[in-house]
Amino acid sequence: MSELTRLTLAEALEGLKTRRFSAVEVARAHIEAIEAARALNAYVLETPDRALAMAEASDRRIAAGEARPLEGAALGIKDLFCTEGVRSTAGSRILGDFKPTYESTVTANLWADGAVMLGKLNMDEFAMGSSNETSAFGPVISPWRSRGTNRPLSPGGSSGGSAAAVAADLALGATATDTGGSIRQPASLTGTVGIKPTYGRCSRWGIVAFASSLDQAGPIAKTVEDAAILLTSMSGHDPKDSTSLPVETPDFRSFVGRSVKGLRIGVPKEYRADGMPPEIEALWASGVAWLKDAGCEVVDVSLPHTRYALPAYYIIAPAEASSNLARYDGMRYGLRVEAPTLAETYEATRAAGLGEEVRRRVLIGAYVLSAGYYDAYYLKAQKVRRRIADDFAQAFGQVDALLTPTAPSAAFGLGDNAADPVSMYLNDIFTVTVNLAGLPGLSVPAGLDAQGLPLGLQLIGRALDEGLLFQLGAVLERAADFRARPEPWWRAS
């Protein structure tokens, strides 16, 4: 039944609805694919029994004519989402064998719409990383390989497991989160579609926090249409999350296929970074041409504070992380390393339970929040954040959306940036501004580099204008006609 795993989500839902195959058959095909792809390390926990039980329930609903919007859809769940009774670790040792007694709102929404859980997906520890190398469970290996080499590549991060699973047909779609680019960058590196919705569009309740004012859930999927279907189910106001927006959720799928004629699209001149690979510059130019061919007017715009975005982000995010991670002290749940005194127990537990990158960011965050440095760093970074949001507001007074590259390069080798955190942080150069401003951003696969690796284009929209991004994204998707797939080398492992 391996052909079932190659279906898009939309195709699978149509086939289930018309009874061409069953939800159990879809689940079983994906379970077999996951078992054959363990070399990728995309899943940190497989839940085949639960998946089959949920699929059986879906088949009964379909037979009774009671199918819900995602009935029988086999999905992977990033391990940052708490799942009731199922181990949830955020990719960290410090949470140990933590099994939540509650369900995150986003995953509860998916189950209420009939989705099936295949398992929990690997990720950078506490979502801190751009390569999925900081996970306590080891790195995810991208299903893609450069031409003529077997060198293992990064799928991007922190949602590397989600992106790799979708790219390798180990799930029809996956949940992910984006704090500074962690949906869009891995989507770009793996030839998948990823959207970070407007801050507050999806509830953060039950998602392990990294940086609370930046974190946002969203889907990684095979197509723009699939991403629209998933985001519709994932979204919705949640009174348990004070940052959740009390707005209606549109049928995002209805925007796919609409005309974009007459829309004005901005190209930010500040995104032409020094040293940008010529193939990314060329892809960006192709994106401009495709939108023009569809009837859009493309104009240059300026976002003057863009160059301050990365420094501001890497002050604000670690500051919030240091506050959020203070709760992991070995006292109530997760790992505990006994020591003679309380302070030494805290120290030993955190030293054993937290990885190097997480410790680095917690220390940075504690420093910028400390007396004497708060005004110089944290407060100034928040002022820069306001300026960045103002830049976008002015740009959107002239245009309907923005077009940029998603990432500054194609997939890089595992270990390439391990000794240089700043080089790793530069992977977020085109994405962090969107999080700082709370805006939606969509990455669409649009081409291959000289080594045969995927490259993505990013669309940025006004707050709560995800529908327009799906509208434009479908145009880019159709024009790019991206059909490349990774060779399934992992099946022979």
Closest CA to 414 of 205, 144, 9, 203: 144
* pLDDT for the residue numbered 223: 98
CB 122 within 8 A of CB 33: no
CB 476 within 8 A of CB 446: yes
Question: How far is it, in rounded angstroms, from Cα 258 to Cα 134?
Answer: 41
Q: Is 334 helix (H, G, I), strand (E, B) or coil?
A: coil
Question: How far is it, in rounded angstroms, from Cα 357 to Cα 126?
Answer: 10
Closest CA to 217 of 242, 239, 236: 236
Report domain extents, the chain: 2-257+483-492
* pLDDT for the residue numbered 90: 98
Report strand pairing: 297-301 vs 264-268: parallel
158 in active site: yes
Query: Between the CA of residue 372 and those of 28, 349, 360, 379, what are the distances in Å?
Result: 58, 29, 20, 11
Q: Is 369 helix (H, G, I), strand (E, B) or coil?
A: coil
* pLDDT for the residue numbered 248: 97
* pLDDT for the residue numbered 426: 78
State which residues of the chain have pLDDT below 70. 1, 419, 492-493
- The angle, 0 to 180 degrees and rounded to 10, between the axes of the packed helices 466-480 and 278-293 is 110
Q: Is 251 helix (H, G, I), strand (E, B) or coil?
A: coil
Q: Which fold has domain 2-257+483-492?
A: Amidase signature (AS) enzymes (3.90.1300)
Strand partners of residue 74: 116
H helices of 239-308, in order, are 278-293
- The angle, 0 to 180 degrees and rounded to 10, between the axes of the packed helices 105-112 and 224-234 is 110
- H/E segment holding residue 36: helix 23-36
- H/E segment holding residue 78: strand 74-78
Q: Which of 22, 92, 135, 158 is catalytic?
A: 158
Q: Which of 88, 142, 162, 182 is catalytic?
A: 182
* pLDDT for the residue numbered 492: 64
Tell me the two tokens of residue 473. 């994204």
How many residues appear in the chain? 493
Phi, psi for 357 (deg, rounded to 5): -65, -40
- Within 10 A of 257 (CB to CB), how many other CB atoms are there? 13
Question: How far is it, in rounded angstroms, from Cα 448 to Cα 209?
Answer: 34
Phi, psi for 471 (deg, rounded to 5): -60, -50
CB 401 within 8 A of CB 266: yes
Tell me the two tokens of residue 416. 């390439």
H helices of 256-407, in order, are 278-293, 309-324, 342-353, 356-368, 380-395
Question: Residue 354 contacts by C-beta under 8 Å, 6 or more apart in sequence?
Answer: 92, 93, 94, 125, 325, 328, 362
Closest CA to 454 of 145, 41, 140: 145
Q: Is the pTM of this model over 0.75?
A: yes
Strand partners of residue 219: 175
Question: How far is it, in rounded angstroms, from Cα 200 to Cα 430?
Answer: 21
Dump pLDDT digits (tens) for 54-77: 999 999 999 999 999 999 999 999
CB 209 within 8 A of CB 324: yes
DSSP letters for 179-248: SSSTTHHHHHHHT-EEEE--TTSS--TTB--S-TTT-EEEEEESSHHHHHHHHHHH----TTSTT----P
Q: Which of 22, 58, 78, 131 is catalytic?
A: 78
